[in-house]
Structure 1
Amino acid sequence: MPQSRQAADRDPARLFLALCPGEDVQAALAVHSDAWQWNTDAARYAPPDWHITLHFLGSVPRQRLDELRSGLAVPMTPFELRFGQSELWRHGLAVLLPEAVPEGLQRLHGSLAQALQRLGLKTEARPYRPHFTLARHAALAQLPAQPPMFGWHVDGYVLMESTGDASQRYRVLQRYGSVA
């Protein structure tokens, strides 16, 4: 096996598909996040880290990146997400959920699942629950008194890599739709 391929196999990319908000939605999320009463152990996410995962791909050999970039391009119809529901999930996860999952998001999620399967990648079996993760280790946090009320016009998605670096947790590898 050539040395460069061996290096790529030892350093796979940890990938996922996501919806990434622009600065206006990040600002609304920041206002909402600041309204929580966080416990001292809570590990809050920074605005550049906020996203809604569509599909987690896991560790993928880097030599497949070009194939994935093209194979994950699917048609999408823009849609609106309205937010208004904060929750604390198991294991101390503080999240913000949309009021409903619009048909456009359901179609995009399904189309991407089919694309992943064509590429030989597995998809989650459990039901899709789109959400923003605001913090981890937040089991003792207090939800805001007022629910957030803002919307987001979504017209694209991204292929992202988890970097393992706290200063830049995620890196966009490919943009799809009109977010390019």
Structure 2
Amino acid sequence: MEMKEEQFQDKPLRLFVAVRIPESIQLLLEAWRLRNEDQLAFKKWTHLEDYHITVQFLGDAEAGRVPEITDALKRASLKINPFDLEFGSFGTFGTAEAPRVLWAGVIDQSGGLDKIYEAVTSEMGELGFAKEARPYRPHVTIARKYAGKSPFPGQNLPLLTEKNSGSGGTAEPLIWEVNEFVLFSTHLHEKPMYEILEAVQMKDS
């Protein structure tokens, strides 16, 4: 993927590495939001094109460093094979009654996300980007800042899909293959907020 000339400016870029969500599941998440946002009173909902799983937040970096970061991510990609992910249940950060973040979990049977995390943070560490001290908890942020008048209905959230099986209402699995990760630049207060600077393909097994 070619990087735009205007990306290389004097102004620092706010960068992070992430796994994108495929368009088909983006659309399911968007449909779920449209069905439920009136009942789930969050102040900010993730834009359709901004759904992702963060691997490592890098913070502010000079635009001229993007090529060396990209080269390091390509080295990291050689250590990882494509793998499958499945959406898990919803969860929250913050208090149960008024969470600050609503997220969707992911089921990673092969440990592929942990492998990406270790490979990327190792390469980024060589460039001076330290990984966070807290444990890695991959998830997809759906919304932020609950502002409802009633306590948040955490245990009674609607299912992601409308196609349910059996009387228990278990959602059908949503599974996709992860074969790349990306370097994002953040544009605060814009929609969508994240711009892809580089997409790095994993090696085939």
The SS at the match of 1:87 is strand
Matched with 1:177 is 201
| Structure 2: gaps of 5 or more residues | 1-8, 161-170
Which segment drifts farther, 128-137 or 76-85? 76-85
Answer yes or no: is the 8 Å Cα contact 1:93–1:139 preserved in 2. Answer: no
| Unaligned ranges ≥5, structure 1 | 1-6
Deviation at 1:42, TM superposition (A): 2.4
Pair 1:88-2:65 in alignment: no
Query: Which deviations, in whole Å up to 9, do the C-alpha atoms of 1:105-131 show, x marking residues without a partner?
Result: 111110001100111211111111111
Among candidates 131, 136, 144, match of residue 144 of structure 2: 136
TM-score by length of 2: 0.74
Which residue of the partner structure matches residue 82 of structure 2?
78
Find 2:127's aligned residue among 119, 122, 129.
119
Q: Which 4+ stretches in 1 moved above 4 angstroms? A: none
Distance change >3 Å, CA 175–CA 100, structure 1 → 2: closer
State the distance in 2 between where 1:101 and 1:59 align.
Answer: 33
TM-superposition CA deviations, 1:87-145 (whole Å, max 9, x none):
12115101000134631211111000110011121111111111111111126444523
Give the conservation status (yes or no) of the 8 Å contact 1:28–1:150: no
Q: Which protein shows a greater Rg?
A: 2
Q: Name the aligned partner's letter for residue 30 of structure 1.
A: E
One-letter identity of the residue aligned with 1:122: A
Distance in 2, matches of 1:126 and 1:137, equals 22
Percent of residue pairs identical = 27
Question: Could you tell me whether the CA contact under 8 Å between 1:44 and 1:134 is conserved in 2?
Answer: yes
